[in-house]
Amino acid sequence: MMLQMGATLLFSQALVAPEQLLNLSLNASAVAPEAAVLIALIGTLLVDLAGEQTAKRWAPPICYLGLVSALLLLAIQWNAPLEYSFLGSFLADNLSIAFRGVVALSTLLSLLISWRYAEQNGSPIGEFAAILLAATLGAMLLCGSTDLVSIFISLETLSVASYLLAGYLKRDARSSEAALKYLLVGSAAAAVFLYGSSLLYGISGTTNLQEIGIALLESSTPITALALVFVLSTVAFKIAAVPFHQWTPDVYEGSPTPVVAFLSVGSKAAGFALALRILIGCFGSFDSQWKLLFTVLAVLSMTLGNVVALAQTSMKRMLAYSSIGQAGFVMIGLVCGTEEGFAAMVLYMAAYLFMNLGAFACIILFTIRTGSDKISDYSGLYQKDPLITLGLSLCLLSLGGIPPMIGFFGKIYLFFAGWADQQYLLVIVGLVTSVISIYYYISVIKMMVVKEPQEASDAVKQYPSINWNKSGLPPLRFALILCVLVTAIGGILSNPLFQWANNAVTATPLLQQAIAISNQNVLG
């Protein structure tokens, strides 16, 4: 009883008085980064109306300006006092700033690697960029939403834009199929979330997450457990956790590769931000229950994702199952509920941004030259293109957790946090499945490097030379070099990165309250 009273007091201290919400709602600086993205979105649509040639010329710089401005504004917000907007339904704290930065940077890199791909496939560049910016806007708003209404609006903005992006290649049957599957499963997930939200509103009489958390602490009912299951299902769908992963392989395989790059990082980062906001801020009284459920999800995701990836013949499909396994690793930090666990989550998402997008940049370059996505067609690639081979190898080694890559240190921090919190099952499963993942990553590298010239695939034997000055390729080269460099040397700089991630946790009252309650329960 005393523990419950202490938890109630801690959560109540974080609540913002209604008169304060009215004043803070006029503060537009909290959503200034999103405003920059919105202005870029509108500008891209306007230049697209002027014709395809005009869009090709002006859409890229407008997108760059909007996203770079958003990143600079996020940097200015870092460590600033907490700022609310939209009547308190959006909060710009360090946690949201970190995840919004990951989303904005993932979009910037996705655009850099997408121009040449979109041009080769005959897709309108202006429309593509505008829809991707719309998805970015939804994901960034989702990272800071603190109200069920703002969460749903942000979630649907991200989801609808993602459906359009998945089916953007209208002449490709696989792309249309991917969009249809994504739409059907996503619509079901949205309906489940709405039903869970209606239950929470009926129990508490409010849509504010913190106020709902107080209401559930004071009087929890069996219906609350049902609402938890519904909301958790939506979160699991967004981060592609087993068994809510069914859409992931087909969508990854059929969607345009730059879209897959964004979904694998930007959408997943927004999903984990949503998980932190809604599970910690709303279901504090069900801490042990949702942690148990996420423990099961993490074990299933790490196991199924990495085991099934062994049998894949498509590079994008392999990375789809790999992303499911990677989500399981990140969930270790979420289940821990400690300062180290949350910081390791933020750090790993930042590391995953560079190593995964670097791998997709190499895949796009290979697809542009060969039109193939089969793993077997990478056989002997080192003979024709050692640079792409090196870049893809470094990124895959990092995803597998091989030192001294940045992915190794990201996993080490997660495993250390799990072991310190006595999450032995998660750590052991994580170590075993990491070894399994190394096998299929190394298999791709072996195929590219070890094969003799006469064993090279037909795609590699007919591999054309490339002119890096050709339209759309210089940005792709820049993104590839940046991602590979950060992946390769980021491990050396892992301590400053961890300090940045730790600062995102220590300066966020919501997480500090959750950590205090967890420590209180342990002492009790």
Per cent of the chain over pLDDT 70 is 92
Reported as a single tens digit per residue, the pLDDT across 421-439 is 999 999 999 999 999 999 9
- Is residue 22 pLDDT above 70, yes or no? no
DSSP letter for 463, please: P
Mean pLDDT of 225-238: 90
Mean pLDDT of 482-506: 88
The predicted pLDDT at position 116 comes to: 86
Residue type, 206: T
The predicted pLDDT at position 83 comes to: 81
Helix (H) or strand (E) holding 67: helix 52-77
| Cα(334)–Cα(290) distance, integer angstroms | 10
The predicted pLDDT at position 455 comes to: 74
- Is residue 294 pLDDT above 90, yes or no? yes
| Cα(457)–Cα(455) distance, integer angstroms | 6
**For all residues of the chain together, what is the average pLDDT?**
87
The answer to which of 137-141, 221-225, 476-480 has the lowest mean pLDDT is: 221-225
> What is the dihedral angle through the alpha carbons of 103, 108, 113, 116, rounded to the nearest 10 degrees?
130
Q: Which two tokens stand for residue 221?
A: 């009912």
- Is residue 53 pLDDT above 60, yes or no? yes
- Is residue 324 pLDDT above 90, yes or no? yes
Among residues 95, 461, 472, the alpha carbon closest in space to that of 272 is found at 95
90, β-bridge pairs: 85, 145
* C-beta separation of 501 from 350 below 8 A: yes
